[in-house]
Structure 1
Amino acid sequence: MSDIEAVVELNKEQIHKEQQERIVKQIAKELQLTLKQVRTTVDLLDEGNTIPFIARYRKEMTGELDENALREIEERTGYLRSLEVRKREVLRIIDEQGKLTEELKTSIEKAVKLQEVEDLYRPYRQKRKTRASAAKEKGLEPLAVWITAQPKQGDVRAEASNYVNEELGVNSPEEALQGAMDIIAENIADDAAIRAWIRRYSIDHGMLVSEARDQEAESVYENYYNYRELAKKMPPHRILAINRGERENILKVGLEVPSDSVHQYMTKQIVKGPSAVTDILQTVIEDAYKRLIAPSIEREVRGEMTEKGENQAISIFAGNLRSLLLQAPVKGRTVLGVDPAYRTGCKLAAVDETGKLLEVAVTYPTPPNNKKREAAAKIKEMIDQYGVQLIVIGNGTASRETEQFVAEVIAEAGKQDLAYLIVNEAGASVYSASKLAQEEFPDLDVAERSAASIARRVQDPLAELVKIDPKSIGVGQYQHDVSQKHLEESLKVVVESAVNHVGVDVNTASPSLLSYVAGINGTIAKNIVKFREENGKFSSRKQLQKVPRLGAKTYEQCVGFMRISDGENTLDRTPIHPESYFVVSSLLKELGVGPEKVGTRELSELLSRQSVEELSDTLDVGVPTLRDIVDSLQRPGRDPREELPLPIFRTDVLKLEDLTPGMELQGTVRNVIDFGAFVDIGIKSDGLVHISQLSTGYVKHPMDVVSVGDNVTVWVLNIDLKKGRVGLTMRPPKEQSM
């Protein structure tokens, strides 16, 4: 490398460091974190470490930042790095035009939003042919400059007559003046400061207005046929609802902004005082706003509103999905899964406590067949033969008729330990038709696979639901109206977080489950299963290093989340990372006990009496790491989901007609949305607890109070027999009137 090349590389490295530090400072300021926390996190991510790994095993380095904070840093780093690339591109283009001033360069370099950079770049961007560019081609720019200078005296028409040129297409002073005004209007519309103010004002004061294209037409959007609301106060679900109505060509939607205030602001910025061209400038200002600025600002504001709505919808879906994935597993029970239907019959699948398929069958208890006697006999036969303790019914078509039938069968069976449960079957049909399901159940048809999936969903919701595209699990609002790429990315993060939170048994996990472990991709997940099939069960975490394509970095990232329940080393069934096994040895030695005591009550009680802070100094290990180690040693093999309440098991069914206002019921939260929560209380349709009925106190968002899968006590508020709807409250009767 020559001396010149070395200097260039050194300069590049210095620029990169300056940009990196600028990004770190910006993120630390935005997220109110220390520079060290942000800098360390960015370095760890750049080294190829995964977020679950950093959150769990690098707590000392990051100051115990959780996954959410780490993901915010990752997201902002990506955004600001892309912004730096765009800044360099914009600076290069403007510089090549010979128009880059120090002031403009500083403004671009200081920008922290892409919109700011694009506003500054706007006057220098190559434009398609406009009225202004046509006027410039006709030589009218000097006239525009003369008007912009706002001469105190002069005859505008006389000045304009100097630019009449029939060869260039300027046939009169009026045409010359109009062309000059078009140039000035575009210059005003390209002014970054003016655009920024109008955009902010439009967001703060704009009214979103919607009206029906046909006022007589019936639709689900009738609430928005004559609707107006301050744009910045619109809740996300309403934004998406109106967007959908507009997209379906039922609503006309627009943004109304008080134009008088905008004109006053623009006049103050542009008109310097009385001049010979004041009236002309006022006309130009009005034209610049109405023709050029207002339409584009409306698109930008509507875009921001849609982004707000999409982000909220995705956030709700993600939160609900996490709650669904982390529901308590129902262990140690033989389960009969039922995929209900009318004409094609109810598919049955019995699985043992490990999820192994025992038998599949089809019965026809629902209309139009109504073969209840034969169906009851078959179900009783399977209950007796396999010792079924729980019947799980999918909540799809014919689910409530099937539920009524199952409740009758349970009553006739007279078994004390037999109950039923309704589960969300969303995505079961998608899974059943997938290649994965075909490989897992090659001898079953699509519906039979669905029944098996429904049965397994209660035994281990996480292990079963990861086999399904997260978008197909319907726990959200307006998920089909948002960016599918953004939704997919967000939901993948949720599944990854849930899987690593729980950990996976490397000897039983499917490729689908393994592929979400930190550092593991689909290919390596399949290689792990193949290695297991060819060499038998893993007896040690170290054996993972022999799996093809599972290199040192991948091993470091994934191994702490892998569990071997009956391996050679007791620590392999804990979340303790092998890199900390020496700490465990030192800790046990300090306590005077051997490794065989791991998992015993004796060690658990001994550890509970220790001061982690004092031990940390003695063992020369960080407090967060030691705290996690002590917790893992007290409860090795613990599944964090086991601390959650089990779903509500039922033996009888309710009808809408059975309900009365004030009746107390136990229910399970099925979905949480912006305006409340839907609760399964055992009737055909889930009841709605409106946000105002979730608590006696103020509730900012339903997710602050309830999550999918929660068991809740509710009281019937109102019943609409005609529409089949039930209003519920979680406010106890004595507090409802307060």
Structure 2
Amino acid sequence: MDDITARSWDIADILARQLNLNLDVVIRLINMVEKDQCTIPFIARYRKEQTNGMDPDSLRNFTNLLNELRLVQKKCSTMIKTLQKQGNLDKKTQLSLQSAQTTDELDHAFAPFKEKKSSLANRARELGLDEAANSVLSKPNEVDLRKWVVKRTEGRSTLSEVETGVKYIIADLISKEKATMDKIREVFQPYRMQLESKLSASKKKEMEKKNSETKKAGTTDLKHDFKKGQDEDITKYQSYHDFICKLPSLKSYQVLAINRGEAHKHLTVKVTISKEIESKFLTWSKSHWTSNVHKQDILNLLKYCVEDSYNRLIKPFVLRKARSDLTKKAREEAVDVFSRNLKKLLLTPPLRGKIVLGVDPGFKNGCKCAVISSTGNEVLETDVIYLGSKNAKQKIQRLYGKHKFSVIAIGNGTACRESESFFSQFITKNRGSDLVYCIVNENGASIYSVTTEAQKELPDLDPNLRSAVSIARRLQDPLVELVKIEPKHIGVGMYQHDIPDTLLKTALGCVIEDCVTFVGVDLNIANESLLGRIAGLKKTQVKKIIEYRNKHGHFINRKQLLEISGLGEKTFQQCAGFIRISHKYLVDSEKIENNNNNNNDEKPEVETTEKGRKRKQKPSTAVKMKKARVDWKMNPLDQTWIHPESYELAEKFITNLNLDVKELGKPEFINNVKHAIYEIGVKKLADKLSAGVPTLQLIADGLSQDAGFRDIRSQMRRPLFRRGITSMQDLRCGTKVSGRITNVTDFGVFVDVGVGQDGLIHMSEVGGRWEEVKQCLGPNDTVEVLVKSVDSQRKRVSLRLIHANLSKTTFV
């Protein structure tokens, strides 16, 4: 390894240490990610033996840190090459760059050498005082700085000027030296620092001026009304007007709120370091740089350099890094909140086989209504009703009488409360029916309604009515509908406007990928949006899959994907386990095709044109499909999440249990598999078949699925359906009610208890289990709560958690 790429740290060692992982696991992971280009979902599900069972979140954390360290390595090499070309590279600088483990540390070490960068140390170097500084450090007891005095040369004409220049260079070298950087990491730990925020001087004057004006006007109302165009209220940051907190104790929402307050010039913020820690670092630095110095003038010079380096260079760097780390961590936690909420939303169980009335509530433009078929593929009828009009009830009654919808999906936007009341009365009027309603998150529906995809799907519908269709379909299959919308528009989480768009888009895109691969996708019915979220597939490949399906008919076997141009073995390996081919769907489709084309075989091979000439007839699509089916046979294992690379092992397992793969999905087959696992144990069976325990367990679970294409979301918690509502006035302290979670933040859980205003379960009201609650609960989960307090005027409801299912979804 040459001097440019040689490093003072090993990337695998750092990953193992920082993430508390086995070094062998780290090395295998690096190879899978970088050499084999495996996707996270593929590694998480099909390479458990090699990762010791790491979940997707842990794997993404690993790859993010790996990418950061690779970026540091790449940037370091570029910087060293740049310095070589400039002739500014020495061993100390090279070692400082190579010891840096973050881009911040790299930038700090490289700062003096940036082009067009004017610094005190650089100006001293331009005067030719580098040699003098190096002499002071290498021969402190022999050096005589008068040697570098040059008469009538600005900056070097006197001994004092030479000493000043040398001090700047040495202070700079001290701040960049490897030993110094190592000591900085050791000493300046977050728990030794605190953050302070205060009301900014400008806002303080503004508030005092407003208070003075209100007193003159003879009123006691001290609320501040800002000028037109300003949307921030000074009381919004009141909690941070005189705020002090140790860095490790800061919550992510506090950091983001303080950052926003500072950006809007409401707050002044600073990080402080304890005097004890500063003294400790300075004592070490002076000892480190002056231990062998006996010459008094040089000793004094070096002590001054140490203090100057700390106050002018090191301390500002430490404080900047502390703020940067706080913000980075807060953003990551905010994104994590988004991710957990989005996962819950996407994994809400689909509503199968129900005709749904989707309602996009509104006052001025009325409530847009759309009746959707039980499959979700057909819009049966649309209409617009105005809640205050005389014919509103008649219109809904007519739609109900004609289509017999059984569920009403009401968007949670403007006029939701009034629409809820209207349809509750309608349900009461139709007693004896099985009618229920459900409040559905409508965020992003209006954005979707004007997209190109919406225009393709619903070309004949007005965009306002498309949003009603989207709301209904979100209830029928949240995953299929919500993948069409940019994650940031779905509106779950907190402080989304303070998160960089690229960070949010990447993180939430990963969540959608996890959910799609977790549930699986039927290759023959999935749309382009859904296929595009499968790990390992690119947009161009998805389009080719759709084209292939349109041209050749339904897929019979997973391996047919290899016939598609541009989709090779590597892509097939990464995506194959996440697609399904439902045999039930294929059989039903085959029957329909046969009924529609039962005379195809009787048609002549030639046909007569209008002029009497004969020409060869082109084979129909049905005939092409039939010929294709001769070459490709159905494989029952294609209905499961078992990967094709494990089919041979799965068949051995089935044979070992004296079962027939053709019986896959039948109750007796499933019971025999479960019984064998229970009686013999996975470990013994794995040893017998020379297989890994996680792989065999995955196979056993796949063989235990119901017949056909079973949706794993069916075991998740269903959304809350209601028939009637209450008002806020009906709530009483001590009342126990059921509610549907609408959002989870870092400070509490918002719950819809059916009164038109979400209540808040504060993090202190969950029985000391906040971390568990935060990780496990999300939108559409149902909880039992106790009403603590009701403030009708301020529209606030405080709740206490009584009961919730805290089982966590595992993505495999």
| Fold-level similarity (TM above 0.5) | yes
How far did residue 396 of structure 1 move? Answer: 0.9
The letter for the 1-side match of 2:762 is: H
Q: 1:277 to 1:43 in 2, by over 3 A?
A: closer
Matched, 1:678 2:694: no
Matched, 1:604 2:650: no
The two structures, once aligned, show a CA RMSD in angstroms of: 3.4
Q: Where does residue 208 of structure 1 map in the other structure? A: 195
How far did residue 21 of structure 1 move? Answer: 11
Q: Where does residue 26 of structure 2 map in the other structure? A: 38
Residue among 474, 477, 484 paired with 2:491? 474
Q: Where does residue 223 of structure 1 map in the other structure? A: 239
Q: Where does residue 713 of structure 1 map in the other structure? A: 784
Q: 1:23 to 1:681 in 2, by over 3 A?
A: same
How far did residue 187 of structure 1 move? Answer: 3.9
How far did residue 377 of structure 1 move? Answer: 1.5
Residue among 346, 355, 359 paired with 2:367? 346
Matched, 1:254 2:254: no
What are the residue-to-residue correspondences of 1:76-95 with 2, within 5 Å?
Answer: 76-93=65-82
C-alpha separation between the residues in 1 aligned to 2:10 and 2:325? 26
How far did residue 360 of structure 1 move? Answer: 4.3
Q: Where does residue 410 of structure 1 map in the other structure? A: 427
The letter for the 1-side match of 2:196 is: V
Q: Where does residue 618 of structure 2 map in the other structure? A: none
**Once the two structures are superposed, what CA deviation does each residue of 1:64-117 show, in whole Å capped at 9, x if it has no partner?**
333233333333332333333334344445566777677776675565444455
**Once the two structures are superposed, what CA deviation does each residue of 1:20-72 show, in whole Å capped at 9, x if it has no partner?**
99433443343333344333333333223222223223334444333233333
SS at match of 1:221: helix
TM-score normalised according to structure 2 size: 0.80
Q: 1:617 to 1:247 in 2, by over 3 A?
A: same
C-alpha separation between the residues in 2 aligned to 1:545 and 1:519? 14
Any conservation in 2 of the 1:673–1:702 contact (CA below 8 Å)?
no
Q: 1:404 to 1:51 in 2, by over 3 A?
A: same
Which has the larger displacement, 140-149 or 392-401? 140-149
Q: 1:312 to 1:644 in 2, by over 3 A?
A: same
What are the residue-to-residue correspondences of 1:271-670 with 2, within 5 Å?
Answer: 272=290, 275-276=296-297, 287-366=308-387, 370-371=388-389, 373-566=390-583, 567=586, 568-610=634-676, 611=680, 612-636=682-706, 637-670=709-742
C-alpha separation between the residues in 2 aligned to 1:548 and 1:43? 27
C-alpha separation between the residues in 1 aligned to 2:47 and 2:194? 48
TM-score normalised according to structure 1 size: 0.87
**Once the two structures are superposed, what CA deviation does each residue of 1:328-362 show, in whole Å capped at 9, x if it has no partner?**
11212111110111101111111112102333434
C-alpha separation between the residues in 2 aligned to 1:330 and 1:321? 18
SS at match of 2:797: strand
Q: 1:258 to 1:149 in 2, by over 3 A?
A: farther
C-alpha separation between the residues in 1 aligned to 2:250 and 2:105? 25
Q: 1:475 to 1:274 in 2, by over 3 A?
A: farther
How far did residue 454 of structure 1 move? Answer: 0.5
SS at match of 1:718: strand
Q: 1:235 to 1:274 in 2, by over 3 A?
A: farther
C-alpha separation between the residues in 2 aligned to 1:138 and 1:35? 49
The letter for the 2-side match of 1:663 is: T
Q: Where does residue 688 of structure 1 map in the other structure? A: 760
The letter for the 1-side match of 2:367 is: C
Q: 1:546 to 1:374 in 2, by over 3 A?
A: farther
SS at match of 1:635: coil
SS at match of 1:713: strand
The letter for the 1-side match of 2:554 is: K
C-alpha separation between the residues in 2 aligned to 1:417 and 1:117? 66
C-alpha separation between the residues in 2 aligned to 1:312 and 1:578? 37
C-alpha separation between the residues in 1 aligned to 2:398 and 2:446? 27
C-alpha separation between the residues in 2 aligned to 1:43 and 1:179? 49
**Once the two structures are superposed, what CA deviation does each residue of 1:602-637 show, in whole Å capped at 9, x if it has no partner?**
112222221344443444443322222222222143
SS at match of 1:609: helix
The letter for the 1-side match of 2:342 is: L
Gap runs ≥5 in structure 1: 1-10, 733-738
The letter for the 2-side match of 1:707 is: G
Any conservation in 2 of the 1:42–1:73 contact (CA below 8 Å)?
no
Q: Where does residue 595 of structure 2 map in the other structure? A: none
Q: 1:573 to 1:80 in 2, by over 3 A?
A: same
How far did residue 151 of structure 1 move? Answer: 8.2
SS at match of 1:452: helix
SS at match of 1:211: strand
C-alpha separation between the residues in 1 aligned to 2:85 and 2:270? 40
Any conservation in 1 of the 2:282–2:307 contact (CA below 8 Å)?
no
SS at match of 1:210: strand
How many equivalent residue pairs?
712
C-alpha separation between the residues in 1 aligned to 2:9 and 2:57? 22
C-alpha separation between the residues in 1 aligned to 2:47 and 2:524? 27
C-alpha separation between the residues in 2 aligned to 1:44 and 1:24? 13
Matched, 1:697 2:714: no
How far did residue 725 of structure 1 move? Answer: 0.8
How far did residue 584 of structure 1 move? Answer: 3.7
SS at match of 1:168: coil
How far did residue 552 of structure 1 move? Answer: 2.6
Any conservation in 2 of the 1:161–1:172 contact (CA below 8 Å)?
no
Q: 1:277 to 1:633 in 2, by over 3 A?
A: closer
Any conservation in 2 of the 1:236–1:313 contact (CA below 8 Å)?
yes
The letter for the 2-side match of 1:27 is: L
Q: 1:462 to 1:180 in 2, by over 3 A?
A: same
Gap runs ≥5 in structure 2: 208-223, 225-232, 587-633, 804-812
Q: 1:97 to 1:505 in 2, by over 3 A?
A: same
**Once the two structures are superposed, what CA deviation does each residue of 1:247-305 show, in whole Å capped at 9, x if it has no partner?**
12222222233457525632552374893477766665554444434333322221111
Q: 1:279 to 1:423 in 2, by over 3 A?
A: same
C-alpha separation between the residues in 1 aligned to 2:147 and 2:48? 75
Any conservation in 1 of the 2:7–2:98 contact (CA below 8 Å)?
no
**Once the two structures are superposed, what CA deviation does each residue of 1:441-494 show, in whole Å capped at 9, x if it has no partner?**
111122111111100111111111111111111111112212221221111111
Residue among 123, 134, 139 paired with 1:134? 123
How far did residue 135 of structure 1 move? Answer: 4.0
C-alpha separation between the residues in 2 aligned to 1:324 and 1:355? 18
Matched, 1:245 2:261: yes
SS at match of 2:770: coil
SS at match of 2:408: strand
C-alpha separation between the residues in 2 aligned to 1:28 and 1:267? 33
- % of aligned pairs identical? 36
Structure number with the bigger relative contact order (C-alpha 8 A, sep ≥ 6) is: 2
SS at match of 1:539: coil
C-alpha separation between the residues in 2 aligned to 1:594 and 1:438? 47
How far did residue 208 of structure 1 move? Answer: 1.9
Q: 1:533 to 1:54 in 2, by over 3 A?
A: same
C-alpha separation between the residues in 1 aligned to 2:14 and 2:128? 46
C-alpha separation between the residues in 2 aligned to 1:138 and 1:104? 20
C-alpha separation between the residues in 2 aligned to 1:451 and 1:106? 63
Matched, 1:56 2:45: yes
